[in-house]
Amino acid sequence: MLQQFTFPEEGRAGVEELYLKIFGDARRNGEKIQLMQKASLQTDTYFNGFFSEEWKKYTDLSKIGCTVEVQGNCIVEVFAVKKKGNGKKEQVLKRQHYQSKERGKVRFSFSLSELSGMIAVRVIAVKNTLFYGGTWKYKKCLEDGGLEKTIQIALVICTYHKEKELLRNLDYLQKTVLKNFKSPLFGKIHIYIVDNGKTISLQDQNIQVIANRNTGGSGGFARGMEEAVKEKERYGFSHILLMDDDVIIEKSSLEKTLALLCCIKEEYRQSFIGGAMLRQDYPWIQHEAGGIWKDGRLKAIGQRQDLRRTEVLLQNRKKKEKPNYAAWWYCCIPLQYVEKNGYPMPFFLHFDDVEYSLRGKQEPIYLHGIGIWHEQFEQKRGSALVYYDMRNTLFTYCMYGDMRKKWKIWKLVLYEWYQAVSRYRYKDIELIFKAVKDYKKGIVWLQKADAEELHKIICRMGYQWKRQEQIKDFEKEVQKEELYKNSESVWKRIWRIFTINGNIFSAKRGTGYLPLGASLDRFYRLKRVYLYDPSTGLGEWVEKDWIELVKGCKRGIEMIVLLFKKKG
């Protein structure tokens, strides 16, 4: 099976149009949808559309079949949706009339080479009709059933004091995969929970908990990889799927990953399969579908796209937008890649997935419909991440960047320094300085450092976010403003840069209440700011301080001088 039509989880608002488009009078009853007379539904959506160009590019498929399960009196159509200018056009490929009081199947078959665009199903109720779903299936991709029998996945989840989110996901996987013999994934997944907080206790034949020191995400995922490699003969592992503990999972993403692995072309068998990240606060908005690392900076592909719109789903990726890394909120890696290239760098947090992807020098694969929901990142950048982002950026550039262009390294450091000064986060300047000093110690130091003890030091140096109960009802308003905020003019941005975001002038505004990821123009000439994380309510007051500003400028000069020196 390539993919089966899937319904949204009941009770989740804002995701319906990522699964089905319904017109007219219809109601859901469990795992079926009742269409009243003249109502219709169609599957030209993110999770249920069949994106023929992607399957042709990455697989050896030749013929595919579509099965739709219905009951009643209806017209079932298979149609293609293609891009036309800034819009779309539809073409009905095949149509059948179904009429029966019994539940039955309507079948279609196609040659994949003759298809183009997104292929979808439409059910039109002539009279009251029940829609039960359906599947896209394939004939044997290769001889003897292809790779299907050889695919076994080690699902590695690294966790640290997120018991609620982790247990929610494990319960979902138990119901939909591990104990569901009808699932194509049944018997093909074994889960490793690497518990950096040592707080999880579970007993299950399909789930193995590994108590681990707090070595961060990179150390936790590396430990899980090691266990999978050790037990590859026992479980027959062919791939390792890395996934964050606090995501919201869609089982069809796992099913499509398995289907792709079963039919993948020889040239792509060592490629990573990445999962797109959709925002939890705006569940129809895509945060990233693959990323580009270039000269130390990261660019998210497909950011802020509204996945409810068919026109967006039909957009072709720009030629220059070729991803070179896959983030580890969802990333499937061939076990052979791990055996050949070793384990992730001990970065603790951030850039471990970037470096590990760059190491293989192969473009990761992204398919529509393989994705998860994750909390947005722009509001999560605490002090510790400032240190790790800076240090790990420098190490990654040292390994994969052009070291003849020293000015690019200085630019990376000055950018982080400017961000900290502009937000009055003066403690973070000290963390950036420490990151530069630690980078100058070299890769050998990084590999030998005690990550757990170092992290404790980093946390003590930074801001200690605490709850301010009097700050309420800002989350919804701020998130909308941040997501759909209009870009300021180029001249205003230049002016802010030359004035260090207004820091060379005295403050002219009083108090502000801003999320951690607020844009810099929101801080312009504010005196005092309450910085907070909208999802937790934790935050702290920061304010403009001339003495700290002078100290920060001095540190900035010291960092540039330090970068001139040779390592050692």
- 3-state SS string over 96-112? EEEEEEEEEEEEEEEEH
Mean pLDDT taken over the chain: 91
Averaged pLDDT, 101-123: 96
Kindly report, residue by residue over 438-462, the tens digit of the pLDDT: 999 999 999 999 999 999 999 999 9
| 140/383: higher pLDDT | 383
397 sits in which H/E element? helix 383-400
pLDDT beyond 80 at 523: yes
Half-sphere exposure of 183 (CA within 13 A, CB side): 22
User: For position 318, what pLDDT does the model report?
Assistant: 65
pLDDT band of residue 331 (cuts 50, 70, 90) is: very high
Q: What is the per-residue burial (b if ≥16 Cβ within 10 Å, else e) of 29-58?
A: eeebbbbeeebbbbbbbbbbbbbbebbeeb
Give the position of tokens 């990821």.
517
Q: Give the Cα-Cα-Cα angle 77, 82, 85 (nearest 5 degrees).
A: 145
User: For position 482, what pLDDT does the model report?
Assistant: 53
Kindly report, residue by residue over 458-516, the tens digit of the pLDDT: 999 999 888 766 554 444 444 444 554 556 788 888 999 899 999 999 988 888 888 88
Angle, to 10 degrees, between the axis of helix 426-440 and the axis of helix 546-564? 10
For residue 542, give the nearest of 505, 520, 512 by alpha carbon. Answer: 512
Q: How far apart are CA 172 and CA 193, in angstroms?
A: 15
434 sits in which H/E element? helix 426-440
User: For position 480, what pLDDT does the model report?
Assistant: 45
pTM here? 0.92
User: For position 404, what pLDDT does the model report?
Assistant: 80
For residue 346, give the nearest of 491, 234, 447, 471 by alpha carbon. Answer: 447
User: For position 171, what pLDDT does the model report?
Assistant: 96
User: For position 13, what pLDDT does the model report?
Assistant: 81
Q: How far apart are CA 326 and CA 305, in angstroms?
A: 18
pLDDT band of residue 203 (cuts 50, 70, 90) is: confident
User: For position 483, what pLDDT does the model report?
Assistant: 54
Q: How far apart are CA 549 and CA 233, in angstroms?
A: 58
